[in-house]
Amino acid sequence: MSRAVNSSLDPERVGEAMLARVAGWIQAPAWLVLAADGQGEMRPMATRGLTAAVESSAHAIARLVIRSGEPFSAADVSLDRRVPAGSRVAALGFPLACRGRTIGALVALDRRTSADVPRLAVATRAALEAAIEPGAAALDNAMRVQRAEALSVTDDLTSLYNSRYLSQVLRREAKRTARSGRPLSLLFVDLDGFKTINDTHGHLFGSRALVEAAALIRTSARETDVVARFGGDEFAVVLPDTGSDGAAAVGDRVRERVAEHGFLQSDGLNIRLTVSVGVATLPDVATSVETLIQAADKAMYWVKGHGKNGTFVAGSDM
């Protein structure tokens, strides 16, 4: 197993390799590998045969194993008080321990109950734990690498992508556009009147307002879009395979949601802000990443100079 699980730094692939090996030793129709990502979130890394009927029980058992750091076994999970609303299945759960902490759990389910609580012989259990130990270490390493990579491209304040990653995405998508002939659009979004918050209420409140604005822009964009903080109170949205009309529609949605939002309400305030949005599309008004950025920036500043709170598409009649 050691060679298989250490051959990848992708946590999902490590989980799949671990599951494939262990499933060869223990005959069970349904499996789950669940990992704690270090930030309080639980992530499924691998599954096999997991149906909707038993999925919630598998996750509940895995979370229990991660919290307790102890193995789990039940002849009928529906009768086990540790698992609320458990399914009528037999189950085994094993902690994935690394560096003195439990970083995940491996759960095996039988779709039928058992007459006896499923148990492994002491020698078999010891051999299994010794075998999954390198898998747990490899999974922990892979998740650490993934977190480090995410931090290197993430804005510390807003958790959006940073300008470094924005540049990488634009260059990658521009090459793809050149090959496919599909359009690539870019939005530049600038908060109108943001300086007033800093001047009136201080930079701490200004930072909180930026976090709220970032969340609004992220939820206004589509799953395929890439949202980044360009710097200060300026944001960017990359829209692959999207022409100017589709990009303008996303820009208008951002603008409307920001205008409807009351900022800093949790701090006893209700500040209203608007945004100026510039839209540019490659190849309509640009031939390179640099000229695409310039066109979007120019379109945004056109809105700033014409009353703010609007969306303008580069190349339109001014």
Instruction: Out of 99-103, 111-115, 272-276, 314-318, give the one with best mean pLDDT.
Output: 272-276
> Is the sign of the CA dihedral 307, 309, 310, 314 positive or negative?
positive
The one-character DSSP state at 227 is E
Clarify whether residues 293 and 207 are in a common domain.
Answer: yes
Average pLDDT, integer, range 266-274: 95
Structural domain contains residue 318:
no
The predicted structure's pLDDT at residue 41? 79
Structural domain contains residue 158:
no
For residue 5, pLDDT over 60 is answered with no
DSSP codes joined into one string, 95-123: EEEETTEEEEEEEEEESS--SS-----HH
DSSP codes joined into one string, 11-42: HHHHHHHHHHHHHTTS--SEEEEEEE-SSS-E
Local confidence band at 26 (pLDDT 50, 70, 90 cut-offs):
confident
For residue 9, pLDDT over 80 is answered with no
Local confidence band at 22 (pLDDT 50, 70, 90 cut-offs):
confident
Q: Which of 82, 117, 152 is the last residue of a domain?
A: 152
Query: What is the length of the chain?
Result: 318
Give SS3 for 80.
coil
Clarify whether residues 113 and 168 are in a common domain.
Answer: no
Window from 76-90, 143-157, 297-311 with minimum mean pLDDT: 143-157
Query: Tens digits of per-residue pLDDT, 87-125?
Result: 999 999 999 998 889 999 999 999 888 888 887 777 777
The predicted structure's pLDDT at residue 252? 97
Clarify whether residues 225 and 146 are in a common domain.
Answer: no
Q: Which of 152, 174, 193 is the last residue of a domain?
A: 152
Asked if 174 contacts 288 with a C-beta cutoff of 8 angstroms, the reply is yes
Local confidence band at 159 (pLDDT 50, 70, 90 cut-offs):
very high
Clarify whether residues 173 and 89 are in a common domain.
Answer: no
Can you give the CATH number for the domain in which 127 is found? 3.30.450.40
Quote the tokens at residue 13.
């692939």
Clarify whether residues 219 and 274 are in a common domain.
Answer: yes
For residue 130, pLDDT over 90 is answered with no
Average pLDDT, integer, range 196-211: 95
| Mean of per-residue pLDDT scores for the chain | 90
Asked if 279 contacts 244 with a C-beta cutoff of 8 angstroms, the reply is yes
pTM of the entire structure?
Answer: 0.60
What's the domain count of the chain?
2
The predicted structure's pLDDT at residue 39? 64
Q: Which domain does 198 fall in, by range?
A: 163-313
DSSP codes joined into one string, 210-238: HHHHHHHHHHHS-TT-EEEEEETTEEEEE
Quote the tokens at residue 63.
């979370």
CA-to-CA distance for 203 and 58, rounded, in angstroms?
A: 46
For residue 7, pLDDT over 50 is answered with no
Average pLDDT, integer, range 208-220: 97
For residue 204, pLDDT over 90 is answered with yes
Q: Which of 113, 133, 152 is the last residue of a domain?
A: 152
Local confidence band at 6 (pLDDT 50, 70, 90 cut-offs):
very low
The predicted structure's pLDDT at residue 263? 96
